[in-house]
Amino acid sequence: MKRFFKLAESNTTVGIELSAGLTTFMAMAYIVFVNPQMMASAGMEQGASFVATCLAAALACFMMGLYANWPVGLAPGMGLNAFFTYTIVGELGYPWQTALGAVSSQAFCSWYSLSLDSANGCWSASRGTSALRWGPVSDCLSA
C-alpha cells in the first residue's frame, strides 16, 4: 500500500492517511442524510436518493484515490441540489425527471469541455498546492 499510493514521496504515513480519511468522512457525512431529504422535497423517492448519494460519493472518492492518487472527498453538491429542488422543480414547476435530465446534460457538457481543455494542456492539478494552476491563455488558444 505504501508503494501504490507513494506515501513516502508525499511525506505521510498510513496512520496519518487513515486519520485524515476518517476526519474527512465525519466532515461530509451529513450529506448522506440531508441530500435525500432535499430530493424527497422535489418528489424523488427518499430511499433511492439515499442509495444514489452513497454510491455517487463512494465511487467518486474511490476513483480520486485509486486512479488519480489524490485524497479528496467528493459528494453530490448541495448548492446544485437546492437549485434543482427549490427553483427548477419548486418555483418553475418542472417535473423532477425533466430537471434531472437538464442537470445531467449540464454536467456532461461541463465535464466534456474540461476534458478538452486538459487534453490541450491548458490546466493541470499540482499535488503540492491546494488549487489548480492555469496556464497562460495564449497556450490554450494556440492548442
> What pLDDT, on the 0 to 100 scale, is given for residue 137?
44
pLDDT reported for residue 11: 87
pLDDT value of position 116: 73
Q: Radius of gyration over alpha carbons of the chain, in Å?
A: 19
DSSP state of 112: H
**pLDDT score for 120:** 56
Q: Please report the pLDDT score of residue 5 as a whole number.
A: 84
Give the number of other Cβ atoms within 10 Å of residue 90's Cβ.
Answer: 16
95: left (phi over 0), alpha (psi -120 to 50) or beta: beta
Position 118 scores a pLDDT of 57
State which residues of the chain have pLDDT below 70: 117-143
Q: Identify the pLDDT of residue 138.
A: 44
Which pLDDT belongs to residue 71?
A: 83
> What is the model's pLDDT at position 127?
47
Q: What is the pLDDT of residue 121?
A: 54
